[in-house]
């Protein structure tokens, strides 16, 4: 109910741009360009946690972009879901193209967009599920461009996790390790559906994406990669071709050593 009230209020009352404060503009053209007008890039946190799939981001998490994401997620500016979803769609498209997923034949289903879930407490406090809303908006943008996708919100929090803000990389990994599971009946979805792209609004240390990839993989899903709206500037891979992977054509930060989710190393 709270979400609907915010949405109606945003339509009736003039609001400033969520990115820069320009009057009477939910999101001005310059802030839209900051979100999705610069092309997506490969991003890797430092250190890179083992088990992290390839990640693409649409924008740098700073200034205007940070303000827009916080306005949508924490202050319920639901009118921002469409431009944020369009930015996320660009990152999903890049992941799919890089993996050769678009246009495949042979009976495979559409690409499955699996949002990384927030805790129930966070969703209740905000009055809306920001991650799922962005995934649905990205799905609409991709389908309107003729690219077959389906949103599959199948990840579930199996235990309570602490707020990640203020935690370092190691603490974040301990916080989320083993926290996610999948909904019942998901194995049939993996059989009849296509491969998975994990989606989220933001990547910082990559710990949540590693845990999401683990939960999907151990249940039988195939993760192509991950797409996010934004990541810190330091995570963006340098060079004209940002499509590489660690150890392949560019200099990447070291992976974290520690206990791996599936027997190798991770943080």
In a domain, 267, yes or no: no
pLDDT at 168: 60
Across-strand partners of 112? 150, 196
pLDDT tens, the chain, 267 aa long: 444 444 444 444 457 899 998 887 789 999 999 998 788 999 999 889 989 999 999 999 999 999 999 999 988 888 899 999 999 999 999 999 988 876 544 335 689 999 999 877 777 777 788 999 999 999 999 999 999 999 999 998 876 665 556 656 566 555 566 679 899 889 889 988 889 999 999 999 998 999 999 999 999 999 999 999 999 999 998 754 454 444 333 344 555 543 333 333 233
In a domain, 50, yes or no: yes
In a domain, 261, yes or no: no
Count of structural domains, the chain: 1
In a domain, 265, yes or no: no
Separation CA 108–CA 219 (nearest Å): 18
In a domain, 263, yes or no: no
What does the CA dihedral 223, 156, 148, 130 come to, rounded to 10 degrees?
-120
The vertex-174 CA angle with 171 and 178, nearest 5°, equals: 155
Q: Is the dihedral of CA 155, 158, 162, 166 positive or negative?
A: negative
Residue among 2, 3, 57, 53 nearest 35 (CA) = 57
In a domain, 56, yes or no: yes
Identify the domain containing residue 30 by its residue range.
2-256
In a domain, 82, yes or no: yes
């Amino acid at each position: 109910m709270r979400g609907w009230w915010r949405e109606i209020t945003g339509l009736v009352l003039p609001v400033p741009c969520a990115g820069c404060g320009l009057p009477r503009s939910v999101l001005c053209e310059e802030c839209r360009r900051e979100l999705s007008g610069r092309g997506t890039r490969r991003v890797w946190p430092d250190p890179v946690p083992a088990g992290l799939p390839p990640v693409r981001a649409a924008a740098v998490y700073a200034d205007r972009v940070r303000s827009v994401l916080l306005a949508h997620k924490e202050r319920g500016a639901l009118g921002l879901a469409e431009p944020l979803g369009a930015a996320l769609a660009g990152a999903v498209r890049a992941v799919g193209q890089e993996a050769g997923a678009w246009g495949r034949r042979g009976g495979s289903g559409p690409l499955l967009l699996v949002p990384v879930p927030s805790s129930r407490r966070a969703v209740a406090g905000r009055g809306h599920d920001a991650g799922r809303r962005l995934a649905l908006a990205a799905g609409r943008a991709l389908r309107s461009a003729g690219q077959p996708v389906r949103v599959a919100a199948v990840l579930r929090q199996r235990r309570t996790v602490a707020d990640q803000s203020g935690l370092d990389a190691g603490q974040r990994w301990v916080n989320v390790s083993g926290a996610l599971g999948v909904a019942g009946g998901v194995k049939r979805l993996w059989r009849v559906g296509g491969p998975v792209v994990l989606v989220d609004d933001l990547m910082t240390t990559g710990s949540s994406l590693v845990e999401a990839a683990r939960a999907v993989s151990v249940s039988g899903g195939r993760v192509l990669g991950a797409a996010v709206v934004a990541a810190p500037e330091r995570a963006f891979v340098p060079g004209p071709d940002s499509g590489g992977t660690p150890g392949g054509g560019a200099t990447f930060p070291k992976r974290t050593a520690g206990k791996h989710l599936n027997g190798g190393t991770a943080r």
